[in-house]
Structures are given as structure tokens and as C-alpha cells.
Amino acid sequence: MAFDFDVGSVLLIDKPYQWTSFDVVNKVRCLIKHHKHIKKIKIGHAGTLDPLATGLLILCTGSYTKKIDEYQGMEKEYTGTFVLGATRPSYDKETEIDNTFDISTITEDQIYQVAKTFVGNSNQVPPQFSAKKINGERAYESARKGINLKIEPKPIFIREFEITKIELPFVYFRTLCSKGTYIRSLANDFGIKLQNGAYLDTLRRTSIGNYHVNDAFSMETIEKLIAQ
């Protein structure tokens, strides 16, 4: 398989756990420069995926970087798990548990009913530990200093939100949602609606528009392809 990185190409990457989206971009940029002897290459990704998440990341090179906004605007599908009965400041496992709750009275029917309330248009507050810029600073940079900034809610659309399995305290889900939806906030809000607590345990992005993670390359495979 050949790619014309300089003129333009689209790469589907299965982002590894604990890699940032920029780690992937920088690695691919370095590989292209080294193996293809291209001194300067335009490359970017079409939608950040958190370090603790895995799954589909679309990379664009050359002239295809002009299509990044188009890809970013596509609906995205995620699968993952929430943990009920506890909260974390980052809404995921980046930070330690700060509160615990009794989940002994929570029923499966309550969980299914709460899931239905998320479908449709709503306003969502992004996490304090997010890459949103406020007054020129990333929100997570302030949060790590113990400073909580006022983050305005943003309109989102959730087309589908399905509970696929319940093994308390774990709740397994699949969701199809709009650009700008924070699944970590979804987890936290899920706990609030249950009058309890919840945080995101695992997350995998399975599709962006018609692009699916099953068609994506691992980092090991993309390195071999670029080296050819």
C-alpha cells in the first residue's frame, strides 16, 4: 500500500492507550521525514482522543489537511464503561477518587431509564480537565494547579445512547454523538442523574462518520508501511 504524503493522504490510526493524539501526529511526522526524506510535511489530526482512550484517529497530510474540519464535524461512535459509586475530578482515571457513594439501591431499570434522557439535543459542560482554551490557557493546565475555571456549557447532540451490559459497579455503553461531546462529562452527568457518582473507566472510539476503527492501522503497521 502506497501513500503520497506530500501531495496528500488520509491515514486511519488505532490510537494506543496512553498516547496523546499529538504523540501520534509527531510520530508519523518523524517517520515520514525519515523514511520518505521529506523535509517539511503538513500533518494534523481530525479530532482529539484522550490519552486514556483508544481507537480511531484520522490523520491528514499535505493538501488533505484542508479536509480536517470536514472530518471533525462528523458524528462519532464510542464504546466504553462507566464505574458507578465514585467520582474523580477529571471524570476519568487520570485523577484519584474524591468521593464515594452507596450503589446498593440502584436498579438496572433506573440505569436504562437514565440512559434514555441523554438522547437528543442538550447543553454539556466540558470537564475541568480538558483541552478547552480559556483566557489563552488550557483548562487542564489550570485544573492541575487546583484552579477551577468557569467553563460555559456547549450544545451537543446524542443520536444514540445504549447500555450494552450492567455488571455493577460497571456499566457498559455505546453512543453515537456529535462533535464536541465529552464522554467523560457524560459519565459524570450519568452519576448525577442517578443521584450518585460515576466516572469513565474505559473508552474506545469505534467510528467517525463512515470511517471505522476496524479499517485503521496500528502504530506498528503504519511504521512498516511508511518504511516501505
Domain boundaries, the chain: 8-72+210-227, 76-208
> Is 23 an active-site residue?
no
Whether the per-residue pLDDT at 86 is higher than 80: the answer is yes
76-208 carries CATH number 3.30.420.40: no
51-67 per-position pLDDT tens digit: 999 999 999 999 999 99
Average pLDDT over residues 210-224: 96
Q: Which single residue is written with the C-alpha cell 482515571? A: 93
Q: Which of 6, 14, 23, 50 is catalytic?
A: 50
Fold annotation for 8-72+210-227: Pseudouridine synthase (3.30.2350)
| pTM summary value | 0.91
106-163 per-position pLDDT tens digit: 999 999 999 999 999 999 988 876 666 666 666 666 656 666 767 788 999 999 999 9
Q: Which residues of 3-16 are buried (b: 16+ CB within 10 A; e: fewer)?
A: bebeebbebbbbbe
If pLDDT is split at 50, 70 and 90, which confidence band does 31 have?
very high
Q: Omega into 153 within 30° of 0, i.e. cis? A: no
HSE-CB for 149 with a 13 A CA cutoff: 23
Q: Which helix (H) or strand (E) holds 163?
A: strand 154-167
Burial of 55 (0-12, 13-18, 19+ CB in 10 A): buried
Hey, do 8-72+210-227 and 76-208 end up sharing a CATH topology, with the first three levels equal?
yes
Separation CA 155–CA 73 (nearest Å): 14
Separation CA 220–CA 66 (nearest Å): 27
Question: What cell does 146 get?
Answer: 487546583
Separation CA 6–CA 35 (nearest Å): 13
